[in-house]
């Protein structure tokens, strides 16, 4: 609750966070959509067993990670949600952005090394805490890429 009060004092920051945060998010999402479309031919799944047909080909580990920061508006909106309960939509979009970015980076690495698919993909999330509020979240994703 104290957190919300502190947030109320910093109304201008929330406003700046809302405007620029929104712009940054929308641009990020647009970029992601483009890159994802370009990577559509690289398959991705979390099955552990690579089929016999592919087992003779060279395989290697690919990784991707991204740290995305929250903005003042997101923290404020989530703080309000914390009072009334319900889904924190601002944080949900933050998480999915980070995850998509990490996956895209992994797939780009796979594509660069001429892989056709990535198997046994796993995702890890960690919170990078600021002094009073969450500073950002990190998503790390890794898997086994198999050459074309």
Partner 1 sequence: MIVVNTEFIPGKRIREIKGLVQGNTVRAKHVGRDIVAGLKNIVGGELKGYTELLVESRREALVRMLGQAEELGANAVLNVRFATSSITSGAAELYVYGTAVVVEDEAVSPASEGKIAAEPV
Binding interface with partner 1 (CB under 8 A)? 1, 43-49, 51-54, 75, 78, 81-88, 91-92, 95-96, 99, 103, 116-117, 121-127, 133-134, 137
Map residue 19 onto helix, strand or coil: helix
Report, in Å, the least distance between residue 27 CB and partner 1: 22
Q: How many C-beta atoms lie closer than 10 Å to residue 39's C-beta?
A: 16
Give the separation between CA 139 and CA 126, rounded to whole angstroms. Answer: 7
CB of 113 to partner 1, least distance (A): 16
In this structure, what are the phi and psi dihedrals at residue 122, rounded to the nearest 5 degrees?
-130, 150
Q: Name the minimum Å distance from CB 12 to partner 1.
A: 22
Token readout for 3 is: 């957190």
Nearer to partner 1, 12 or 85 (CB): 85
In the complex, what is the shortest distance from the CB of residue 51 to partner 1, in angstroms, rounded to a whole number? Answer: 3
Note the maximum CA span of the chain.
62
Give whichever of 13 and 50 is closer to partner 1, judged by the CB atom.
50
């Amino acid at each position: 609750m104290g957190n919300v009060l502190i947030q109320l004092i910093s109304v201008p920051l929330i406003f700046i966070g809302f405007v620029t945060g929104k712009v940054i998010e929308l641009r990020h999402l647009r970029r992601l959509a483009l890159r994802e479309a370009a990577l559509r031919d690289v398959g991705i799944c979390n099955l552990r067993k690579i089929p016999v047909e592919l087992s003779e080909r060279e395989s290697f580990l690919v990784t991707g990670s991204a740290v995305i920061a929250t903005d003042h508006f997101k923290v404020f909106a989530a703080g309000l949600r914390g009072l009334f309960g319900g889904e924190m939509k601002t944080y949900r979009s933050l998480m999915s952005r980070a995850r998509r970015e990490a996956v895209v980076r992994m797939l780009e690495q796979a594509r660069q090394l001429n892989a056709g698919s990535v198997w046994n993909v796993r995702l890890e999330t960690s919170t990078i805490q600021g002094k009073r509020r969450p500073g950002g979240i990190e998503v790390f994703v890794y898997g086994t890429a198999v050459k074309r």
